[in-house]
Amino acid sequence: MATIVNTPTVKEELQNLLKESRQANEAAVNYLRHNGVELNFDEWLTPKKYAEKFNVSLQVVQNWINRGIVPAENIRVVEELNDLKLIKAVPYK
């Protein structure tokens, strides 16, 4: 007789991963707040997410940052998150 192993379905696994992701995000935000850093993650994006949102290549975004097209006040480096670089989610050109 075969033993039936009770394994989670793909849907359940995805739900668990999403839950863990939300918890990790919440923990990161709480950590930053505790250390005096306030960021609205709707307004600040990683360069990769910025490129996706505004339909440009990541290389273009990096070039804009390096050439100063993205103003310094619109760039944040979050040391507490392993030097995560964020840029303000507004159009540049």
pTM of the model: 0.64
- How far is it, in rounded angstroms, from Cα 43 to Cα 90? 8
- How far is it, in rounded angstroms, from Cα 44 to Cα 87? 5
% of the chain beyond a pLDDT of 90: 42
pLDDT in tens, 55-70: 999 999 999 999 999 9
Residue with the larger pLDDT of the pair 35 and 6:
35
pLDDT for 1 beyond 70: no
pLDDT in tens, 9-38: 888 888 888 898 888 878 877 777 787 777
Please report, for residues 5, 16, 35, 45, the alpha-carbon distance to residue 41 in angstroms, rounded to integers and kept in the order given. 41, 22, 16, 7
